[in-house]
Amino acid sequence: MTTVLHTTPKILIVDDDFGVRNLVYRFLSRNYQIESAADGKTALSLFEQFNPALVILDWNLPDVNGYSLCQEMQSRTNVLVMILTSRTDEADKIKILAAGADDFMTKPFSLAEVEVRVEALLRRIRYINPSPTQRIVFKQLVINPEGREVTLNDKPLALTALEFNILHFLASHAGQAWSRPQLIQKIWGCDYVGDGRVVDVHIGQLRKKMEIDASVP
C-alpha cells in the first residue's frame, strides 16, 4: 500500500500596509503555511527560503513596483502570483496581467473573496507542469517542456510561467481553434474566477515577444 503525503500549500504575503498584511496573514494561517513581508527586498529573501506556491503581492511597494517583482519571482520558479491593487482603470488591469500575474484583487476586498480566489488559484497547481516531455519544433521555434525552455531562431525566449503554459498548450494542439472560455478551462482550470480577458493579454504578450505582427490574427 502506498501512502500519499499531502503538504499544506505555502503562501507569501507582500504588502507594506500592516493592517492589510496582518489581516490576510491571520485569515489564511488557518489553512496554509504563511510568511509575510513589507517590502520587495525582504520578499525576495523569503521567497528563496520559503519557496511558496502562491505570492499575494501588493502592486505598489516602497522599494520596488509589483510589475518587476512579479516577473523576478516568476523567472525563478513557476509560482502563482495574485496582485493586490487600489487601481481600477483598464490600463492598470492590463498591465498587471501583462506582468504575468495569475489574478488580481482590487482594494478594498472581503476575506470571503480572498478565500475563494486563493482556493481557485491553488487548484491550478496541477496545470503548471505539462505532462508531455517531448520537444515541439515549429521551424525556428523549439519548445522544451521538461526544462520549460523556449528558443526562437536559436535564442532563448523569456516567458512567464503562464505564457509558457499557453504556448505549450497551443503548440501541442496545432491546427485546432479554441475559444476564450475553452482556453481558460484547459489552462487556468474550470475554477478560474478572474477576468476572462486574461487570455487576450497573455496571448498579446506572447505575440510581441515572438515578434509576430499583432495585426494578423
> What's the CA gap between 181 and 135, in Å, rounded?
27
Q: What helix, strand, coil percent values describe the chain, rounded to 5?
A: 40, 20, 40
SS3 assignment, position 54: strand
pTM greater than 0.75: no
Q: Where are the domains of the chain?
A: 10-127, 136-209
**Which class in CATH covers the domain with range 10-127?**
alpha beta
pLDDT tens digits, one per residue of 154-213: 898 888 878 888 898 888 888 888 888 888 878 776 566 666 677 888 888 888 888 754
Instruction: Work out the pLDDT band at 90, boundaries 50, 70, 90.
Output: confident
Given this chain, do its domains 10-127 and 136-209 carry the same CATH topology? no
Pairing of the two strands 80-85 and 54-58: parallel
Q: Is 39:13 a contact under the CB 8 Å cutoff?
A: no
pLDDT (tens digit per residue) in 133-153:
678 888 889 998 888 889 999
Residue with cell 513557476: 78
DSSP state of 4: P
At 159, give phi and psi (nearest 5°): -120, 150
CATH topology assigned to domain 136-209: Arc Repressor Mutant, subunit A (1.10.10)
